[in-house]
């Protein structure tokens, strides 16, 4: 169970890191090339909303599993 808890910590950290990195890159790219994003009808952060939803679901599932196994660790 301890290894599963450690794996879930890694999944949560990696998910947050990937989302933060993608958000920073997208913001930097939008500030550098605004004319590319002006051609789209959707706002520049629309794709980030999808990644954010997927990351939130992955983190939520990991936290639920952690809550289930936490009493078994003690």
Domain boundary assignment for the chain:
2-73
The length of the chain is 74
Nearest CA-CA partner of 15 in 51, 68, 67, 69: 51
Which residue is it, tokens 């289930």? 68
pLDDT at 6 over 90: yes
- pTM for the predicted model, two decimal places: 0.84
Quick check: 6 and 74 in contact, CB under 8 A?
no
73 pLDDT band (50/70/90 cuts)? confident
68 pLDDT band (50/70/90 cuts)? very high
């Amino acid at each position: 169970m301890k290894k599963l808890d450690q794996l879930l910590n890694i999944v949560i950290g990696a998910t947050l890191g990937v989302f933060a990195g993608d958000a920073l890159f997208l913001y930097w790219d939008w500030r550098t090339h605004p004319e590319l994003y002006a051609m789209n009808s959707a706002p520049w952060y629309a794709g980030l909303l999808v990644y954010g939803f997927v990351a939130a679901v992955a983190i939520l599932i990991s936290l639920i599993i952690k809550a289930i196994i936490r009493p078994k660790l003690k």
